[in-house]
Structure 1
């Protein structure tokens, strides 16, 4: 099949345009939403916080984008790109992005996968300019050498890979919903105390002033028979909650009988190691190193390696809770495989409480920790162990925690299972990608293998 492929320069097969310079003093026209570098991820867009700038009518063609355009980062991580498929009227792009529109003979999906492979494997780097901040200029973009197979091969090959990516995207969306459901139930029971409010209303006990408005709203919706009225818990579950509140000098009004504990008593926060001191000897087994960047990416990159002989409490496995207390403060359930925990990260465990309980309580305090780190930041913000001791949790009786776990634990477990499935699908895609781009594989056989992988229930 190789003899049918054309070796050419990308500029001959695309129409491209760089976005508009952001200049508040010079820009004229009406405010329109635009994409910046931070809005473009590999294969998707972050659209929660769109910026706006002024555009004049005659600039719409040059800076506007439409469905099917490939949006490519000019700087930051040059080459990172995604296909625009959203329906947001009059969307524009800023100068940090290229709008690339394939011409006849080139599939936009095939081009996306070509960039994905080239970007992830360093093939674009010889075309970058700049010493500290790298850029992929419009001139360099046009000069990129590319092999272009027949259009039917491009379309079928990209379609096969797209099946995997669609499933990965669906898993991500499902996980977002699962996490929101877990957080909502946790907040209702352990932060807003909705079942305790309901019990207090039924028993005729006083409602503390800070909770009075919430109680009145719930009572009114029930009285009116509103469709939006919150569902009442089964009587058996409600009996596990108290029917009155008591005042705590630190936290204010809390459910009577619940214990108040700091985070560092609810869970154990084991710091990682300075792993540069634990390098493996040549030829020895090793563990990939998990640092803050890898936690953000949810996978290790294998660049740094550590000895397998470090203490077990500094080794993480799929399903472990990992908390970054420095730099980018975040908490996540790890799904990137066995790894060595570097310093600035906590492995969070507990002998007394279930994983979902200490995970959600730590997550609940994350915004506070982020503010503390930002206020104290000089070079890289962080929190100290004392802040764990000053972050309080409300701990009900074991029976109630167990009951909540019946609903929350399956959500957390499904999240992890879905992530692991996505990891396997990503590995399959990345294995197929170079072979499809080189014409090594027979497409019908590959498509059958992909369909089988997607039909197989993840164990």
Structure 2
């Protein structure tokens, strides 16, 4: 985010992309300035509650309204033709309040997870960066297991086993809810080292996502890892936690960038990741750090599960409330 000395508008508004990622809408309730690739709205509050309008507009797929060729684009005339359902104002406020309360809970859990990660990262730097000489390698702590080369022809929208690809990885978590699937016959005889469990740490090894690393939330789903995604397998107790924090650190990300190869598409090997220069293994230090940091990650995994539940509830309620299928009583 960038800042300006003065605002272009100071009242509640919904920002809609003019070009680029057309479905990336924003609600603003503070003075703001926007770039020329975004529209902002002036809302008639006598007719529509601004937060309700925001939720209503997020139910639209704006890619269907695209008027651009090379770059996805929207225009004011196109936006002005959008029909929206407006219940009475008191009902709009109630609907927005329900959805906002879910968003607020999700945001609180996300911020809590960020704080927990920061606490773990602070401890990590104290124990393994500021008070340790880096004369060893990350391979003393973890083995990076590359994923299986699943065939694209086997992927389905619905199936027995979810397949985690590079696009499912962010710096905060692994999105297991938007994966492709394969039938049971594809994985029934597959080596279990390619299988994923709750609490695993996965890292992207190719392309624009290279170096992104996240944690797998609690799940009962059958999940497997695709090629060019690495899974951190601990060689010592808590080795995967230490490896995760090492690779997520500034030093770890620098190592990945410097160890990349490939011209058309950057990539790094499992060995290349393991070769990161790091503090020599000390069992007492590693175990003490692990015992201190493990509760942080247990809570993060618990929160991720809560976030997923609340997000699914919100996403299921949103279209039903907006269409009038589900009504709220005064």
The CA deviation at 1:351 is 3.9
**C-alpha contact 1:372 1:382 (8 A) present in aligned 2:** no
Q: Does 1:288 align with 2:162?
A: yes
Q: Does 1:68 align with 2:12?
A: yes
The CA deviation at 1:160 is 0.3
Which TM-score applies when normalising by structure 2? 0.85
The 5 A counterparts of 1:316-335 are 316-327=196-207, 328=209, 329-335=211-217
Structure 1 residues 324, 183: closer, same or farther in 2, change over 3 A? same
**C-alpha contact 2:218 2:302 (8 A) present in aligned 1:** no
**C-alpha contact 2:18 2:38 (8 A) present in aligned 1:** yes
**C-alpha contact 1:330 1:366 (8 A) present in aligned 2:** no
The CA deviation at 1:326 is 1.3
The CA deviation at 1:373 is 6.2
**C-alpha contact 1:278 1:307 (8 A) present in aligned 2:** no
Aligned twin of 1:350: 234
How many equivalent residue pairs? Answer: 317
Q: 127, 130, 144: which one pairs with 1:189?
A: 127
Larger RCO, structure (CA 8 Å, separation 6 or more):
2
The CA deviation at 1:366 is 3.0
**C-alpha contact 1:298 1:336 (8 A) present in aligned 2:** no
The CA deviation at 1:157 is 0.5
Q: Does 1:78 align with 2:40?
A: no
**C-alpha contact 1:263 1:362 (8 A) present in aligned 2:** no
Aligned twin of 1:266: 141
Separation in 2 of the partners of 1:106 and 1:341? 46
**C-alpha contact 1:66 1:84 (8 A) present in aligned 2:** no
Q: 109, 120, 138: which one pairs with 1:171?
A: 109
Structure 1 residues 72, 181: closer, same or farther in 2, change over 3 A? same
The 5 A counterparts of 1:59-458 are 64-86=8-30, 91-103=32-44, 104-118=46-60, 122=61, 124-193=62-131, 254=133, 260-276=135-151, 279=154, 285-296=159-170, 298-300=174-176, 302=178, 304-308=180-184, 309=187, 310-327=190-207, 328=209, 329-335=211-217, 337=219, 338=221, 339-354=223-238, 355-364=240-249, 365-372=251-258, 376=261, 378-443=263-328
The CA deviation at 1:386 is 4.2
Separation in 2 of the partners of 1:332 and 1:380? 21
Which 4+ runs in 1 deviate beyond 3 A?
280-283, 300-303
**C-alpha contact 1:273 1:314 (8 A) present in aligned 2:** yes
The CA deviation at 1:415 is 1.4
Larger radius of gyration: 1
**C-alpha contact 2:136 2:279 (8 A) present in aligned 1:** yes
Which segment drifts farther, 339-348 or 303-312?
303-312
Structure 1 residues 129, 298: closer, same or farther in 2, change over 3 A? farther
Greater share of strand: 1
How big is each residue's C-alpha offset from its partner over 1:196-232, in whole Å with a ceiling of 9 and x where there is no partner? xxxxxxxxxxxxxxxxxxxxxxxxxxxxxxxxxxxxx
